[in-house]
Every structure is written in structure tokens, then in C-alpha cells.
Chains A and B, each alone.
Chain A
Amino acid sequence: MNRQTHYPSYDVMNEKDEWDDHTQSIVTSRLIRKSDYQFLTLEETELLKRICSRLMDDDREEVISFVISHIDQTLSAGIGEGQRKVGIPKSQILIREGLRSLEETATKRYLFGFTQLNADQQKQLIREISEKKTAQGLEWEAIMPADFFKKLMDLTVESYCSHPLVWSEMGYGGPAYPRGYVRTQMGQLDPWEAQPENE
């Protein structure tokens, strides 16, 4: 997390009372940390936290913990995946096997588990799996590294970008009902939107 937001004093949650009740309850619940996971084991949870932090370049516990609970919930709820490429295992197997294989690769190469590696080593391993379309090494027998990466990235991105802290940093206006937008000409802002701050 090197670069800073363009909108350091903007907090999208300041406006939550302006949102409809349903949206309020959905978004507010993302700020409550959950730790009772249905699908993920303790080891998988710790490993995933590390990986997801690297994927988004963000170590903040409150944000990453929402990402993990979203992944756990998705994998345990049994909701369809929308689509799955022929030959790729179901998401539950893909994620579980992927984590296991990544951990094995880490141990083989560095003699330590993934979470114990330094940042550069972790990033190097992720880079390799993200671009690798063919299995290499026995530990990746069951699945293709890039398939695992893609599924994990999808789950991570959709939850990370649904966290209000991230919305605030992006300068995203967030929920807008019942209020809507009044000033929509180029360069115009409604008073409650993120205001550009001198950088």
C-alpha cells in the first residue's frame, strides 16, 4: 500500500442514513468481523488472508477479513458458479486444492510455509501461478494454477471492491437511493460526493 487515495477525508459511510434500509443493512454488515467459518479450515483461513492481502496489496485486517468471510460464505452456500469451464473442478475443490498445492510449492522451494515467506517470495509465487496454464510439479496434479488464481481473484475482487473503506478510497459515491444524482455535468459534484483534495 504505497499510494494514497485522492480523497483522504471522504468516508462513504457518513452518508449511510441517506440510503434505503435494505442497502444500509447489507453494507453495514460488512464492517462486522466474522470468524465462524463454515467451509474453510483454520489453516486455510490464515493462508488465504495472506494471499488475498497480496492480491489486493492491502494488509488491513478489517478489509481482508470481509474478503475471507465472503469466500467462505460463497463456497459453503452452494450457490451456482454462473459458469465453469469444462474440465475445471468445482470451486470448492479448486480453492482447497489450490491452497494445498501452493503451500506445497512454497515448502518445497523455500522450506517454509507460504505465510512465513517474505513479501517478495510470496509475490513471486503468486506471479508464477497467475500466469501458469499448465501444471508443473506433482503438487499441482489436480488443477491448473492459473484456474485457481482466476477463481480466487474473482472472489477476492468482488468482495474487496464491496467494502466501504475501499469505496471511500476510490472516491466511489456508493449507494444512491432514494437520493440519486442531481449534478451530472462534467466536473459537477453533488455536495455529498468525494470532493477532490489538493495533493
Chain B
Amino acid sequence: MNRKYANEVVDVVIVGAGAAGGVLAKELSEHGMKVVVIEAGPLRDPQKDFASDELAMKNLGWQETRLVDGQNPLRMGHNNSGKGIGGGTTHFTGVFLRFHDVDFQAKTIDGVGEDWPISYDDLAPFYNKIEKEIAVSGPKYFPWGNYHGPYPYPEREPLSPNAYMFQNGCEKLGIESVVAPLAILSAPFEGRPPCINRGFCNQGCMPNAKFSTLIVHIPKAIQAGAEVLSDCMVTQILMKEDGRAKGVEFVYDGQTYKQEARIVILSAFVVENPRLLLHSATPTFPEGLANSSGWVGKGIMPHSSHDVYGKFDYEIRLYKGTPVLATTQAFYRTDPERDFARGYTLHAHGVRPVAFARGISLSSQKKPIWGEELRNILLDYNYYGRITLVGEVLPHANNHVTLSDEVDEYGIPRAKVTFSYGENDKKLIQHAVQKMKDIIEAAGGTPEFVIEDTAHLMGGCRMGNDPSTSVVNSFGQTHDIPNLFICDASIFVTSGAGNPTNTVMAIAARTADYIKDQASKMEI
């Protein structure tokens, strides 16, 4: 293979070129550091390799089999992870929310979950930086949380019929809603055009109106000198005898290679980071690397993401426009009137035929919908509207990633992902489902189907000040191995109740600043 830094000890090797890996690669290489990014999936050209098709673009997800377990086994793949340069940002909906101050202090404020070792104020400058860097579009005034706008770019206009349905229902109930802040352009920016309302955000944006690190951060990193390797699967973290990380081993086209580096950063997401750490165990670290706390793999959290479909006597057409264009966070914070802690975000959420039919057909564990009943529903596709929940899920040590007995093509044990909802999570879902039904009814529809689903994944290598109960510090530096970093959604302590990508990228920008600073002081 054609290499730039093959036999060099580079400054930084980053495993995974997703939301976090992209930001880190750009920041660190623009700082003059020698950076190698190693990504398991391919480098795609949005113009040639993306398509306006659900089935063909399933491959944007991490399709490699994970074993799932627990009371509520997770749907993986395209549902929550990405494979290829850009990672999950190639197929996320582009919703770009900040966490609120209360999200960093769930334990102090509500007595549930854990506190983060950082506050909203620590991340605020990095949220600002990231939002500006990709020209996030959003409302003039955002009513919830700590940031009220204005966003770098004006809110999207026009919206979609489903978003208008949602706004109408909310208005009738006196629930405030806004146009969603989106990492999707509302006007030209850096040679990229505004959105054309094509609606295939989850299949890869072909016009490049939606941000991804594939089209924004990785090209800038390469411009600044970074070497980005695609189709290379990292199979091992290599250690030195002094207990520091030496680099990584990876496989390309059946051949094994090594990349040595002064700093190793794992940005391979909630499942692959723990899997790699556990699989890289050595005699010095018999329970896996960076795992003296025993917390590697533990405390994973999806968002509860139930969908409610309502039927209308007029056409909505869920395929039209950007999937999420309207949002409310009116139920985001703990309300003593409710029987659960924390809260949720609701989105108007478009959907295409495959996801529509799959969700409805297999939604009920008891009685699947098929045959004539399903076909009749398909014929009425255009008469359905949909609202989707993004609900906080509290962290629990029993929800975890472990190694299974089955191995993959590289001989590495497959990850086993175990997840069950807790009582608070279930009460929250119940409340949210009722609200979604209310909104649909207020908009003139009849709620017909409630689809159990999850979205996103966080945790599994959580940050904290106490090395006995956390894996990394607030900068993603592992407590056990000073030159081994973990940086992405896996270091989240709690899930918050909004889409996580903005927070992932803000954390990555903060980690990049820390690494630049420490490296200049020769402290790493």
C-alpha cells in the first residue's frame, strides 16, 4: 500500500474518521502535528458512491455483526453507527443541538445518573467554534437551554409538510416549537450549496449541503498534511514496556501493518472502542487497556427514540424535504409534576418506504403486521405523519459492551452489546409517547402506530475525575495510559436528551486544544 508515514513514529494516530476523528485530525494537523487517521471503511465520493436509495445506502452503517442482548436488544448498523470516512456524519439527520447545563449535573440536580467532570460553560466556546465552522442553520431565537442563537446561518425555509403538521399540532396545544438547528446549509458556504430538500440525509447527502467530516474536516486535515487511510481495520493497540501506548496494528487487504505514534486516540465509537481496549489486553493490563476501573464498556446509553405515526385524511408525504425540520424541547428538563427525572426532545421526522414499512411491520413484539394489513398501510403511506422521540436514557453499569465467544474475519471476538431500559427510562417513554399522540391529534390526525426504537449510542468509556469509576479524564486522556486518548460519544457520562453530534464534536475540539497545549509543553 502507498504510504506517507509508513516507517515513522508520527505525533498522533487516530482510529476512526467519524464526527470526532474528523475534528481531531483537522485541528491537530493544522497545528503542524504529523497525523495518521485509520478508518475501517471506504473513502466515498458523494457524487458517485451515494445514491437516492435506502437499500443501497445501508452500507453507510457499520454492518459487521454485533451480538445483542438484554431486555431491549439494540438495532445496530445504520441505526446508530457509520463505516467509512465521515463515520456516522455521512448518514445522520444533521440535527445539531447543544446539551443544556443540567445535562452535565444530573446527579447533583436530580439525584440520578452521574455528573460530568465538565460543565456547559467548559464546552460553550467549542460549541461556538464548531457551529461557526460548518455554518449551522437555525432559528433567530432558540428558546431552551443556554444558547438562544442566533445561529451562524438563518433557519431553513421552506419546511416540509410533516414539519408543518408538527408545528400546527404543537401550536394548538400551546407547546413552543422551532425550526431545528441543522448542520445543513440554508445558503452557500465554502463552495457548498444550500439544501434542495431532497430528503435523503440518512442515505448520504449528494449535493454536499449537509455537513459531514467526509466533506469538511477530513479534506482540510489532508490539506494540512494528515495521512488518511481508508479500508484499514485496526485490530490491536500496541503497548511499550513502560506502560505507554506505542501505536496500532491494522489490516489492509489481508496484510497486517503497524503505525507507531506518540499519541494514540481512539475515536471508533461506543462499541469498537471498548472492543479494541478489551481485546488489546496485555500481561500488564490483563482486564484490557485503560480498564483499571472496570468501566471500559460499561454504562452505554442509546436515546429512546420511539416513533408515533398518525393517519390524516389529507396527504402529508413523509418523503418530502429534510427529515427533521421542526423540534420542541419543551419537555427537556425535569418537571416535579411528572413521575420521572430528566426529559426529552421531540422532532417532526420524515421517513421513506423501507424504514416506514419495517418499523410498522415489526414494531410490536407480540403481533407483527404483514400480508393484506401491511399492504393496505403501504398504499396509504402518503397519509401518515410521524413524530420521533429523543429521550434521555440513564446510565447503568449493566448496559455494556463485552467480548463474545464468536470471532470476526480478523479473529477478534465480536462485541456483545447488552441493553435494557430502566424504570425511569420507561416512564419517560410513556410520557413522551402520549405527548406525540396529543400533538398528532391536535394536528387533526389519528395516532395509529407506536414504534419502539432507539437512536444514537453514548458511553462505554466514560469521563470522570475519579480513576476508580471512570476511564478517561475530561479531555479524553485515559487515567491509566497517559498517551492513550479516547474521544467521541463513548466518553459521555450521561446521554442528555438531544442529538449528540454537536457535543461529540465540541468535545473533540476541546481535546484537540488540550493535546496541542500538552504537546507544546512536552507533557505527553
Contacts and interface: CB of A to CB of B under 8 A. Distances in A.
Interface of A: 1-6, 19-20, 22-23, 26-27, 54-58, 70, 79-86, 123, 126, 130-131, 149-150, 153-154, 157-162, 166-167, 169-182, 184-188, 193-194, 196
B48 A83 contact: no
B460 to A, nearest CB: 16
A5 B356 contact: no
B358 A154 contact: yes
A146 B372 CA distance: 19
A15 to B, nearest CB: 11
A158 B378 contact: no
Nearest to A25: B51
Given A23-B51, A184-B160, A83 B367 contact: no
Interface string B154-170: 00001111001100000
Contacts of B378: 161, 166, 169-170
Contacts of B314: 186-187
A196 B314 CA distance: 10
B321 interface: yes
B446 interface: no
A170 B378 CA distance: 6
Interface stretch (B14-22, B55-63, B229-237): B55-63
A154 B356 contact: no
Contacts of B200: 176-177
B325 to A, nearest CB: 9
B319 interface: yes
A29 to B, nearest CB: 10
A150 B367 CA distance: 11
Contact of A170 (B59, B63, B361, B381): B381
A1 B47 CA distance: 38
B348 to A, nearest CB: 12
Contacts of B375: 1, 3, 56-58
Contact of B63 (A70, A81, A169, A176): A81
A34 to B, nearest CB: 15
A81 B356 CA distance: 20
B173 interface: no
Contacts of B69: 85-86
13 contacts: A5-B379, A56-B375, A57-B372, A82-B77, A83-B73, A130-B367, A131-B366, A157-B361, A161-B357, A176-B52, A179-B196, A181-B321, A187-B314
Contacts of A81: 63, 65
Contact of B68 (A54, A83, A160, A161): A83
A172 B381 contact: yes
B85 to A, nearest CB: 18
Given A26-B53, A80-B65, A176 B370 contact: no
A83 B381 contact: no
Contacts, number: 201
A4 B63 CA distance: 36
A90 B467 CA distance: 39
B73 to A, nearest CB: 5
Which one of A27, A159, A161, A175 has the greatest number of beta carbons of chain B within 10 Å?
A161
Contact of A173 (B56, B159, B319): B319
Contacts of A149: 368
B371 A175 contact: no
Contacts of A180: 195-198, 207
Contact of B76 (A27, A83, A184, A196): A83
B368 A153 contact: yes
B51 A26 contact: yes
In the A-B complex, list the 10 residue pairs whose CB atoms are closest, starting with the nearest. A180-B196, A82-B77, A175-B52, A80-B64, A161-B353, A83-B76, A162-B55, A80-B63, A80-B65, A181-B197
A153 B371 contact: no
A150 B404 CA distance: 23
Nearest to A170: B381
B374 interface: yes
Contacts of A188: 161
Given A158-B358, A161-B353, A172-B319, A177 B198 contact: yes
B49 interface: yes
A80 B207 CA distance: 29
A135 B381 CA distance: 35
Interface string B253-288: 000000000000000000000000000000000000
A1 B50 CA distance: 34
B321 A162 contact: no
Contacts of B48: 22
Contacts of A4: 379
Contacts of B198: 176-177, 179-181
A177 B50 CA distance: 11
Contacts of B61: 82
A2 B197 contact: no
A20 B314 CA distance: 31
A3 B65 CA distance: 38
B477 to A, nearest CB: 31
Given A82-B77, A177-B52, 9 more contacts: A19-B52, A23-B51, A80-B64, A130-B370, A153-B361, A171-B315, A182-B197, A184-B197, A186-B165
Nearest to B360: A157
B67 A184 contact: no
Contacts of A131: 366-368
